[in-house]
Amino acid sequence: MVSSEVAVQNSVGLHARPATFFIQRANEFKSSIWVEKDERRVNAKSLLGVLSLGIVKGTTISIVADGSDEEEAVSTLVELIESNFSE
């Protein structure tokens, strides 16, 4: 199991279009992937789950993966968030 913390800095947080990009990338991996905020953990491959966390600009989240490609999954998703979803 691998995890990493990252701060969401794009203007709308992890909502609508950025959340869709995030979930599409998460679905490219075989590993189970979760997003954690405060005490809540949701499936990173679920749009409703990710949106339910209400992640806004400045929020620090943890990305956790467990599986055969866990390290690549976490690093790819952290890079996506740090790039502000290439906006």
The catalytic position among 13, 15, 61, 85 is 15
Asked about 15 being catalytic, the answer comes back as: yes
CB contact at 8 A, 61 and 6: yes
For residue 27, the Cα-to-chain-centroid distance in whole angstroms is 11
Closest CA to 56 of 5, 6, 12: 12
Q: Which residues are catalytic?
A: 15
